[in-house]
Amino acid sequence: MAGAEDIMSTRGTAGIARLTAGRTRSISPENPTGAPGAGGRATEGTGAHAARDLGRGWKVSPSIEIAAGATTALGEIEGPATIRHLWLTTHPDNWRSLVLRITWDGAEVPAVETPVGDFFCSGWGRFAQVSSVPVAVNPHGGFNSYWEMPFRRSARLTLENLGTEPAIVYYQIDYELDAVDADAGYLHTQFHRSNPLPYREVHPIVTGVRGAGHYVGTYLAWGVNSRGWWGEGELKFHLDGDDEFPTICGTGTEDYFGGAWNFDVPGAGYTSFTTPYLGLPQVIAPDGLYDSQQRFGMYRFHLPDPIRFGTDLRVTVQALGWRSGGRYLPLTDDIASTAWWYQAEPGGTPGDELTADALEVC
């Protein structure tokens, strides 16, 4: 697998002056195939009425409509190539009811399968600024992914609408046609939700992964169902045959996400932050009426510090608060997780079954 330097080489200006044989292409509703010279040719589309006085080439097809219950292909690309940037926006009502799937090289199981909002660190259907290296979320709901996504033969990106209403989606997939290094891995994700987490059980972040690879990211959408502090639990990485006890064991939830002391700035309370590799971008406070629970969104991206495994990987997080007598209190919170890793195999490892009821923010 690629080293940390290679992972980071596309993340800034490193190597940007090097000329290559690559050629850039882009898929959007204005050029659904990405073919050279094929952009802006639509005569029908969601912008046709607005462009009726101007005609072809004047933003006739800027978006797509996905019917309730339907699945639409955003892009089908022949490799070898690398997706460099994915931009997408849609109404916040759709962030949990649209499921993004990406299949590499014709594999039977998608490697990426997660609600679109959670893929972009926005699981609660409300905007929060995210200013990280691989994911940027900008006003008002501009989703950007800079995850490096190489593939050798083909890539297929789809959105499934689990909602009961049509969804309007704007998107652009920017990719580079060029050779893919022999040691380049395929991007994978896995989504799990515990709602609520059973008492004295741990929430699964990654399960069932076999083979070699490196783990690169975690996003948690955490809804609190109890009073008091909720993040005393540890994140644990079980690597290469670990059974009951892990190789990597953290010291607390806020510690893993780069914070400290409950994310609580004295006098200010929970304090959001967003940095290149870790953050707590979202703090949703109760309103005293229908939004009765505290909700949080947090991410950590292991780009300078990928977690490498050789044969298997399992990741969990505990949910712990405090009870009388200075004892830990196992919590029964609403926890949704998205994990990212790179692996040699293109086929995916499914997480939870994604249904409208299972994903609903309620």
- Tokens of residue 114, six digits: 């997660």
Contact between 311 and 303 (Cβ < 8 Å): no
Start-to-end Cα distance in the chain: 41
**Can the peptide bond before residue 140 be classed as cis, meaning omega within 30 degrees of 0?**
yes
Residue 238 to residues 5, 254, 274, Cα–Cα distance (Å): 25, 20, 28
Residue 260's beta-bridge partner residues? none
- Give the pTM: 0.95
Residue-level pLDDT at 57: 97
Long-range contacts of 39-47 (CB under 8 A, 24+ apart): 46/168
Residue-level pLDDT at 224: 98
Task: Tell how strand 81-90 and strand 142-145 pair up.
Answer: antiparallel
Nearest residue to 2 via CA among 198, 216, 189: 216
Q: Which residue has the tokens 């073919």?
A: 35
Residue-level pLDDT at 12: 67
Rounded Cα distance between 161 and 72, Å, is 8
Rounded Cα distance between 289 and 63, Å, is 36
What residue type is 282 in one-letter code? Q
DSSP code of residue 184: P
What residue type is 219 in one-letter code? Y
- Tokens of residue 265, six digits: 């700035």
Contact between 293 and 223 (Cβ < 8 Å): yes
Q: Mean pLDDT for each consecutive 10-residue tract of the chain (362 residues)? A: 40 82 98 98 97 98 98 98 98 98 98 98 98 98 98 98 98 98 98 98 98 98 97 98 98 98 98 98 95 96 98 98 98 98 98 97 90
Q: Which domains does the chain have, with CATH numbers?
A: 63-359 (2.60.120.1390)
Residue 224 to residues 78, 82, 138, 357, Cα–Cα distance (Å): 44, 39, 26, 19
Residue-level pLDDT at 13: 76
Residue-level pLDDT at 3: 41
Write b or e for each residue in 170-196: b if 16 or more Cβ atoms lie within 10 A of its Cβ, otherwise e: bbbbbbbbeebeeebbbbbbbbbbbbe
Residue-level pLDDT at 14: 77
